[in-house]
Amino acid sequence: MDRLSEITFLLPDAPESRSFLDELRSLLAEVAYADFTGSAGTVGRVGDRLTLTPPQPAEARPVTIFELSNVRAPEIALDTGHSIGMWGDADTHETRALPAQVEMADLTRRLAGHVQRVDHTGVNVPACATSPEQWRDLTTALASASTMYRYPTGEDWPFVLPSTSDELLGDIRDFVVGREPRFELVYDQWLTQTQWQFALWTDLTRAELEQMFPEPEGITFPELEEIFRVVPVLSPWPGLDIRFDLCYRVENGPSDWETGEWLVTEGGRIR
């Protein structure tokens, strides 16, 4: 069985990409498992490469990477041989994307020192530009090479949880904080172009995040307003939307979402 070991967000080697990665470096400066290296694999040109390695359990995969590359447009490369490009119509006048008000540099400035962990990264692919067959092929390929789970309430939001090689062959039964970052796929009925999403755990309360990102800079989603605040960020790449989901400070110990238990036991594995 092939194992999904790396999920890499590839960015064109251009000034706007270097700026984005540099801001991401600053944003995740307090995340213990975020490693920033130069293109040769050694600490050097800041912003060339960012690697997020799951802290728990030992040897869990996949790792998540952000890297400058010789690509014409941003894409997500999976080391199983698949990739997810920018699907959809960047020129449509009917887009249902969230209106972005915040620059990446401004997001980083406001959140400095407040981001503790990365819950997940993900990609929303527009259903209008992605056939059911394409979606099925993508999820089937991922599920065959990773521990992927259904979203328990029935939406097309499957999640890949980092796992060991033994868990890939069997299943996840050890529910610990630190099995992150996860990777989410969304078959999005509202968007007309691809969206990248980044969910971050912060040490801020809901009231503090509402004050930091008031409407229309920040919004909430129905039924998820008690969990995180959404901040769309102005994208430097036409045809790609970017949003950050800022999770509120955990008050009462780890939940079954943080440990992955809810996805595993209630959602069930996709094989």
Q: What stretches of 219-271 show up as alpha helix (H) in DSSP? A: 261
pTM, 2 dp: 0.93
Q: Count CB atoms within 10 A of the CB of residue 178.
A: 17
Q: How far apart are CA 131 and CA 71, in angstroms?
A: 24
- pLDDT tens column, 69-110: 999 999 999 999 999 998 765 454 444 567 889 999 999 999
Q: Which residues pair with 84 in a beta bridge?
A: 76
Cβ 55 vs Cβ 64: under 8 Å: no
Task: Give, in order, the Cα–Cα distances in Å from 262 to each of 9, 151, 254.
Answer: 27, 9, 12
143-201 pLDDT, tens digit each: 999 999 999 999 999 999 999 999 999 999 999 999 999 999 999 999 999 999 999 99
Q: How far is CA 93 from the centre of its chain?
A: 26
Quote the CA–CA distance of 120 and 193 in Å, as a whole number. 20
Angle, CA 115 vertex, CA 266 and CA 262 arms, to 5°:
5
pLDDT score at 168: 97
* CA distance linking residue 107 with residue 174, whole number of Å: 35
The 3-state secondary structure of 32-96, one letter per residue: CCEEEECCCCCCCCCCCEEEECCCCCCCCECEEEEEEECCCCCEEEECCCCEECCCECCCCCCCC
Instruction: Report pLDDT for 252.
Output: 84
Q: Which residues pair with 201 in a beta bridge?
A: 117, 247
What is the reported pLDDT for 5? 98
- Quickly list H helices, the chain: 15-27, 104-111, 132-145, 165-169, 206-212, 261
pLDDT in tens, 8-48: 999 999 999 999 999 999 999 999 999 987 554 444 344 48
**Radius of gyration (C-alpha) of the chain in whole angstroms:** 18
